A and B are shown apart, each in its own frame.
Chain A
Amino acid sequence: MIYANARSGWLYLAPFLVGLAVFTAFPFVASLLLSFSDYRLQDSLEDARYIGLAHYVAMAGDRTFHKSLGVTFLYVFVTVPLKLATALGIAMLLNFRLRGIGFFRTAFYLPSILGGSVAIAVVWRYAFAGDGLVNQAIGWFGAGPVNWLGEPGYAMASVMLLRLWQFGSAMVIFLAGLKGIPQDLCEAARLDGAGHWQLLRRITLPLLTPVIFFNFVMQVIQAFQEFNGPYIITAGGPLKSTYLLPLMIYEEAFKYFDVGYASALSWLLFLIVGIFSALAFRSSKYWVFYSAERETPR
Chain B
Amino acid sequence: MSGTRAPLRYLILIGAGFVMLYPLLWMLGGAFKPNAEIFQSIGLFPAHPTLEGFTRGWRTGTEFSFATYLANTFRIVIPKVILTVVSSVLVAYGFTRFNVRGSRVLFALLIATVLLPKSVLLIPQYLMFREFGWLDTFLPLYVPSAFATDGFFVFMLVQFLRSVPPEMEEAAVMDGCNSFQVLVHVVLPVILPAVISVALFQFMWTMNDFLGPLIYVSSVEHYPAALALKLSIDVTESTAWNEILAMSTIALLPSVLVFFLAQKYFVEGATAGSVKG
Contact = CB atoms under 8 A, between A and B. Distances in A.
Nearest to B168: A1
Interface in B103-140: 103, 106, 109-110, 113, 115-128
B74 interface: no
> Helix, strand, loop or mixed for chain B's interface?
helix
Contact of B91 (A3, A15, A116, A228): A15
B252 A117 contact: yes
B230 A13 contact: no
A45 B123 CA distance: 13
27 contacts: A1-B173, A9-B94, A10-B94, A20-B110, A23-B147, A24-B113, A30-B127, A31-B124, A34-B124, A90-B13, A94-B13, A96-B1, A104-B17, A114-B24, A116-B208, A118-B229, A120-B23, A123-B26, A126-B30, A172-B267, A173-B274, A228-B210, A246-B119, A259-B123, A262-B123, A263-B124, A269-B119
Contacts of B119: 225, 245-246, 249-250, 266, 269
Given A113-B204, A211-B275, A24 B149 contact: yes
Interface on chain A toward B: helix, strand, loop, or mixed SS?
A: helix
A27 interface: yes
A270 interface: yes
A151 interface: no
A253 interface: yes
Nearest to B128: A27
Given A98-B6, A117-B226, A118-B230, A110 B115 contact: no
Nearest to B244: A122
Interface residues of A, number: 95
Contacts of B109: 20
Given A20-B113, A122-B233, A266-B119, 4 more contacts: A27-B124, A119-B251, A126-B245, A231-B210
A9 to B, nearest CB: 3
Contacts, number: 278
B149 A19 contact: yes
B13 A273 contact: no
Interface in B165-212: 166, 169-170, 173, 179, 182, 204-205, 207-208, 210-211
A140 B42 CA distance: 9
Interface in B202-248: 204-205, 207-208, 210-211, 215, 225-227, 229-230, 233, 238, 241, 244-245, 247-248
B112 to A, nearest CB: 9
A137 interface: yes
